[in-house]
Amino acid sequence: MTRTRTVNPNTIASSLRRVKNLPQIIEHQHVLDACQAAGHRWRDGVLNPFATISLFLMQILHGNTACEHVRHFSSLRFTASAYCQARCRLPLAVFQHLLHAVTDAMFDVTRPMARWRGHRTFLLDGSNCSMPDTSELAERFGYPSGQKPGCGFPCAHLMILCDLATGLIRHMTAGPLFTHDMALGVKMHSFMRAGDLVIADRGFAGWAFFALYLQHELHAVIRMHQRLIMTFNPRKTRHPHDVWERLYLLGNDDQVIEWFKPAQRPKWLSQRLYDEFPPSLLVRAIRYRVNRRGFRTRQITLLTTLADHERYPKEEIVRLYGRRWEIETNIRSLKVTMGMDRLHCKKLDGIEKELIMYAIAYNLVRMEQVRAARVQHAEPSRMSFVDALRSVHSRIDGSGPAMRRNNGVPVKLVVNPLRPGRIEPRAVKRRPKNHRLLTLPRAEARQRLLPQQLAA
């Protein structure tokens, strides 16, 4: 009979002493607290929770390499199968509690970072990622449209909440591919507190989204949806088919409007909660023109809950929304640089664990940027993400300049120059391999090759 032990600090401490060449890239106390919060029990073996999670993190930081490669990260003796089973034994709740603990600790460290006029400011946006073609994942997330059966890969719709000052991921969740942005975006309010400010694109410009955020005393700056029409003519207050009415002007292309409650409830919101909302909302509308070279949009209208034009001038709000593009570069670093665009797990709980570990690994790299920015007196967003990732790699591998630290001061990273007018085409020069596309299920393609093999 297998003897199990409850979680205690001595167990993890004794396990750490037995582990050689396993860098402590995550605090063992965070793992202990996560196991206690989830009520997890384990065997005191080589692949205990701390070792498993540390190896999982190193696997993600090395580009989500194969499980067979993980055993080379330390002197621990285990097989790829044992490592996979150790990951499966850890409940999903342990990873969820660990993400919250590590993220909260990072936000406590970065608390002195500058806020925007007293508000913690976050960026909200959606994305997607693909995963192995299994029936469980296909049933949960679904396939992109226009694919033949057996030839595509399931894709998940991701929703990511990032801190504007540091780029840290506050929370990340996944849903079916054809889930609306607002259906996932409204779940993020539980990870914020009253007074926080959210910047998002026009996919979130819905009446119910604003009503829900105002109900939780949150603020938002969101671009108006292209289907909505608004007039800024001082002589015209409302069109008979408009969904709002201007109350008063604050300045040129700056006004406060009354946004009326739509008759139709969005599908992602319950009828009970929708009935509790007021019949109208007071929202500020700002219109401005973009004349910068390389920007295709010439006129933009913003909707915001920041109605005080003296405390929040129009120019400052426009400049703040101009930083919304930073979340696009953050997602690019997460998906392209770190390789999260293709997940490897074949089960639903494995996919969710993999996403959580990607968020933790990404935040570890971001913290490397924050520490270097303080030393080099630069903005964290200007620090090179690739250079920070390499610095974390060298510390994990036990070599390189990241190991040569002076009194805990991190090494200097590459500072990207300010290039406001830079234009780059969204195209690739290197051509992919000229292989034929797989237009039928792989099992059927194998069967068609068997007669050719027998003939040879």
**Residues 213 and 302 grouped into a single domain:** yes
pLDDT at 247 over 70: yes
Would you place residue 409 in the very low, low, confident or very high pLDDT band (cuts 50, 70, 90)? low
The residue from 329, 355, 375 where one domain ends is 329
Give yes or no: residues 293 and 216 share one domain: yes
- Do 187 and 323 sit in the same domain of this protein? yes
Confidence of residue 432 (pLDDT cuts 50, 70, 90): confident
175 and 64: one domain? Answer: no
Give the CATH number of the domain where residue 142 resides: 3.90.350
Determine, yes or no, domain membership for 402: no
My answer on whether 287 and 170 are in the same domain is yes
Same domain, 164 and 77: no
* pLDDT of residue 324 exceeding 60: yes
What band does 10 get if pLDDT is binned at 50, 70 and 90?
Answer: very low
Residue 108 scores a pLDDT above 90: no
Identify the residue with better confidence: 411 or 228: 228
For residue 1, what pLDDT is reported?
39
Scanning 142-277, the segments in alpha helix (DSSP H) are 181-185, 207-215, 271-276
- Both 54 and 114 in a single domain? no
pLDDT value for 146: 83
In this prediction the pTM is 0.88
Domain range for 31: 9-90
Residues 101 and 240 in one domain: yes
Lowest-confidence region among 19-33, 188-202, 274-288, 311-325: 19-33
Q: What was the pLDDT predicted at 422?
A: 73
- Cα–Cα distance for residue pair 280/262, rounded to 1 Å: 9
Does residue 391 lie in a domain region? no
Domain boundary among 71, 90, 109: 90
Task: Say which residues have a Cβ less than 8 Å from residue 97's Cβ, sequence separation at least 6.
Answer: 33, 34, 37, 38
**pLDDT tens column, 335-360:** 999 999 999 999 999 999 999 999 99
Q: How many domains would you assign to the chain?
A: 2
User: Number of C-alpha atoms within 13 angstroms, CB side, residue 424?
Assistant: 7
Cβ neighbours of 11 (radius 10 Å): 18
pLDDT at 378 over 60: yes
- Residue 165 and residue 254 in one domain: yes
- For residue 273, which amino acid is it? L
Instruction: Provide, rounded to the nearest whole percent, the portion of the chain with pLDDT above 70.
Output: 88
